[in-house]
Structure 1
Amino acid sequence: MANTKELSVEDKLRALYDLQLIDSRIDEIRNVRGELPLEVEDLEDEVAGLSTRLDKLKSDLESIEEQIKEKKNAIDEHKSAIKKYTEQQKNVRNNREFNSLTKEIEFQELEIQLAEKHIKEMKASIEHKKEVISQSHDRLEAKKSHLNHKKSELDAIMAETEKEENFLIEKSAEYQAQIEERLLAAYKRIRTSVRNGLAVVSIERGASAGSFFTIPPQTQMEIASRKKIITDEHSGRILVDSMLADEEKEKMEQLFAKL
């Protein structure tokens, strides 16, 4: 690899344009994936959220069922107490004792009625929870299915492009190493500031690629001489002549064809 100090302006321009071609190819690969990785991530979050909610609903259901058991046990205890007090009434010595036991029996009967009312309310709550659980389960399964589909889609694209992307990332790093830091920083800054990521463009029909602003003939001659690095005054992009661009495109196409 050539030392950055030994590079002529032309070599720098070639290295920059090669880097642009490599980075643009990486951009294309990532554009194919598009929003898929984010979609998969969002779906994973939704599935996790629904799973947690479903677990909570099932836990609530178990808790209510346990409370119903406790109420039924309490009813049995109240019934036993009524039976005991009724038996005691047979052996009372006066009306006061009889009335006292009658009040106890009435209290136990009220407790039974209250427990039965609570059981009825809890059974209604169970039915509602079961309906919500069923709906949540169906929604969760639908989301899981959608997630699996999107994951398969992403995996297929990754399988096709991962090897090429990794190779290009390595090549991008190699070409970056040839370029002096100041110039590389400018390239990266321009790349992030323009919509299509093109920091280095060639002259096409008297204008910079993708621009409608004509470049003066004198400036075009300076660009073609490859003696200094010239930028487009309108977009700030680094400019190269079309012949250099065609040569580097051919060279890069041969590199990409090896993949």
Structure 2
Amino acid sequence: MATTAKELNVEDKLRALYDLQLIDTRIDEIRNVRGELPLEVEDLEDEVIGLSTRLDKLKNELEVVEDSIRNKKSAIEEHKESIKRYAKQQESVRNNREFNALSKEVEFQELEIQLAEKQIREMKASIEHKKEVISQSKEKLDTKHSHLKHKKAELEDIMNETAKEEGFLAEKSAQYRENLEERLLGAYDRIRTSVRNGLAVVSIERGASAGSFFTIPPQTQVEIASRKKIITDEHSGRILIDNVLAQEEREKMDQLFAEFK
């Protein structure tokens, strides 16, 4: 592998580097088509889980309140039974003291009933509110489910369309990398990760490196066109190639990419 790399002359290295750049750029384009979709799908999945958890919690809270209302109603019936019992006992009391004591018990039971009825009204209002929140949460969850389903289908379609091409290009990228020495590959990878568009190898366009406004001196342009040594742009650090070589390699790689169009 190392021997093959040493046998390449400078021009061959430049061609191999630019071919690698074109392949990696095409892979970047494919991945850019997916864009933020994978992250969108992941975020939507998290939202659906969060909404489902909240909905379950609300339903549990609703059940607890409904149980409390049933318990309060049961307690009211018990208080009413106590009132009947005390009223019955008042019919057979022997003195006013016993009558008054039973009257206080009746009054206490009536107050307990009033308190329980007040609490039931409050809990019923709470139930109505919770039901409204549950309804809104269900609606929101259904919308998110639908959106997630759409985004997953969209992502799956893109993946199905591009998976074969991306796999093929990844293999080609690995093959081209094998023909280049580690020093050059290290520089190429370092430049690719340091620039926004991932372009480590660029051609001279109208006297400047592609995508740059800085003019390349005429003498440097001559050296680049001679293909005798690898020259980098002093401003961006990118590896520079002449336009003719770039055009030749683009035509060659276009034939490769055409297989998947």
SS, match of residue 3 in structure 1:
helix
Residue 232 of structure 2 corresponds to which residue in structure 1?
A: 231
Structure-1 separation of matches of 2:134 and 2:170: 48
**Bigger Cα displacement from structure 2, 236-245 vs 3-12:** 3-12
Residue 123 of structure 1 corresponds to which residue in structure 2?
A: 124
Q: 1:192 offset after TM fit, Å?
A: 2.2
Tell me which amino acid in the other structure corresponds to 2:50. G
SS, match of residue 213 in structure 1:
coil
Residue 20 of structure 2 corresponds to which residue in structure 1?
A: 19
**Bigger Cα displacement from structure 2, 109-118 vs 84-93:** 84-93
Tell me which amino acid in the other structure corresponds to 1:154. L
Q: 1:188 offset after TM fit, Å?
A: 1.6
Q: Tell whether 2:249 aligns with 1:248.
A: yes
Q: 1:110 offset after TM fit, Å?
A: 0.8
Runs of 4+ in 1 over 4 A off after TM superposition: none
CA deviations over 1:85-108 (Å, ceiling 9, x no partner): 222222222222222111111111
Structure-2 separation of matches of 1:205 and 1:110: 95
Structure-1 separation of matches of 2:28 and 2:184: 21
Aligned pair count reads 259
Tell me which amino acid in the other structure corresponds to 1:50. L
Q: Map residues 145-156 of structure 1 onto 2, 5 A cutoff.
A: 145-156=146-157
Structure-2 separation of matches of 1:112 and 1:206: 94
CA deviations over 1:190-209 (Å, ceiling 9, x no partner): 11222221110112333322
Residue 7 of structure 1 corresponds to which residue in structure 2?
A: 8
Tell me which amino acid in the other structure corresponds to 1:143. K
Percent identity of equivalent pairs: 78
**Bigger Cα displacement from structure 2, 196-205 vs 54-63:** 196-205
Q: 1:22 offset after TM fit, Å?
A: 0.5
TM-score (ref. length: structure 2): 0.92
Residue 62 of structure 1 corresponds to which residue in structure 2?
A: 63
SS, match of residue 198 in structure 2:
coil
Q: Map residues 76-115 of structure 1 onto 2, 5 A cutoff.
A: 76-115=77-116
**Bigger Cα displacement from structure 2, 49-58 vs 67-76:** 49-58
Tell me which amino acid in the other structure corresponds to 2:176. Y
Tell me which amino acid in the other structure corresponds to 2:207. G
Q: Map residues 128-143 of structure 1 onto 2, 5 A cutoff.
A: 128-143=129-144
Q: 1:126 offset after TM fit, Å?
A: 0.5
Tell me which amino acid in the other structure corresponds to 2:128. E
CA deviations over 1:228-249 (Å, ceiling 9, x no partner): 1101122211011223222222
CA deviations over 1:43-96 (Å, ceiling 9, x no partner): 222222221111111111111001001111111111121122222222222222
Structure-1 separation of matches of 2:159 and 2:248: 31
Structure-1 separation of matches of 2:193 and 2:60: 50
CA deviations over 1:125-144 (Å, ceiling 9, x no partner): 10111111111111121222
Over the aligned positions, Cα root-mean-square deviation in angstroms equals 1.8
**Bigger Cα displacement from structure 2, 113-122 vs 203-212:** 203-212
Structure-2 separation of matches of 1:219 and 1:14: 19
Structure-2 separation of matches of 1:178 and 1:76: 90
Q: Which runs of 5+ in 1 are unaligned?
A: none
Structure-1 separation of matches of 2:188 and 2:243: 19
Q: 1:157 offset after TM fit, Å?
A: 1.5
Structure-2 separation of matches of 1:184 and 1:225: 22
Tell me which amino acid in the other structure corresponds to 1:248. E
Q: Tell whether 2:59 aligns with 1:52.
A: no
TM-score (ref. length: structure 1): 0.92
CA deviations over 1:105-124 (Å, ceiling 9, x no partner): 11111111111110010001
Residue 192 of structure 1 corresponds to which residue in structure 2?
A: 193
Q: Which runs of 5+ in 2 are unaligned?
A: none
